[in-house]
Structure formats: structure tokens, C-alpha cells
Amino acid sequence: MPVIHFIDMNRKVTCVPGANLREVALRERYPVYQGIHQLLNCHGNGLCGTCKVAVIEGRTMPRNATERKRLKGVPEPWRLACQFEVLDNVTVTTDAKRVAEHAKATAEAARKAKAG
């Protein structure tokens, strides 16, 4: 059973393989949507782009066609929660600052590994 670590809430939950990330997040009261988008969103149809979450750890499938269209120009690791199937343990966040810190740490680790 995959484990989703909602790092902003410091909470881990298990789900069935292939579970929809948005549905699990809403069930667990994780704030996928920000501000007015809590009310105004496409309810998981891949149309609004307001369910963005960053998957900062864990194995993921490539973005599907809907994500490629809606997230054009948006860097990895951002994904649409409504289009994301959880197949493995993942860590997710909606905090852009945390995503930037993670990217910086990952780049630093890669630089050190390359340097030997």
C-alpha cells in the first residue's frame, strides 16, 4: 500500500495503489486548493489547474496529456492532484518555498556526488 506524506501537515496516510491524489487529499482535509479555489474549481476534471501539488519525493509516472497541457511551462515536480495516480510512496507539498528548498538541496547533493 502506497504511503502519501503530506509534509505540510506532517501526516502520512496509506492508500490503495492507483488512488487519485486529489481524492485522498480532500478526504484527509489536506488543502489542495488555495483561497477562492476551494469553491471555484473543476472538481477533478483537469480543466482549471488549481489543484497543483508538488511531488518532491517518490517515484511518479510522467505527466499525462491533461497535465502537459495545463502545466505547460510549470516545472517538475508540480502536478495536478486530480490527474495523479499514487502508485508508490510519495511526499507532496503545496508550499512553493519548500519546493525551491528541496530543488536546491537535490542539486547540491547531485553536485557533491558528481565531484566524488
List residues binding ligand FES (CB under 6 A).
41-42, 44, 46-51, 80, 82
Return the number of the residue (4 or 51) whose C-beta is nearest ligand FES. Answer: 51
Tell the smallest beta-carbon distance from residue 3 to ligand FES (Å). 22
Tell the smallest beta-carbon distance from residue 32 to ligand FES (Å). 8
Return the number of the residue (49 or 77) whose C-beta is nearest ligand FES. Answer: 49
C-alpha cell at 56: 518532491
3-class secondary-structure state, position 70: helix
- Residues 94 and 54 sit within 8 Å (Cβ to Cβ): yes
Omega of the bond leading into 77 within 30 degrees of 0 (cis):
yes
